[in-house]
Amino acid sequence: MKKLVTVIALVFAAGASFAQAGTAAKEAGKATAETAKQGTEEVKAAATSGSAHSQHKAKAHQHKASAKQHAHASHEAASAAVK
Contact assessment for residue 27 and residue 74, using Cβ atoms and an 8 Å cutoff: yes
Q: What are phi and psi of 50, to 5 degrees?
A: 75, -145
Query: How far is residue 32's CA from residue 23's CA, in Å, rounded to a whole number?
Result: 14
Query: How far is residue 38's CA from residue 40's CA, in Å, rounded to a whole number?
Result: 5
Domain ranges of the chain: 2-82
- Return the half-sphere exposure (C-beta side, CA atoms, 13 A cut-off) of residue 63: 18
41-62 residue pLDDT tens: 899 899 988 888 999 999 999 9
pLDDT confidence tier of residue 25, bands split at 50, 70 and 90: confident
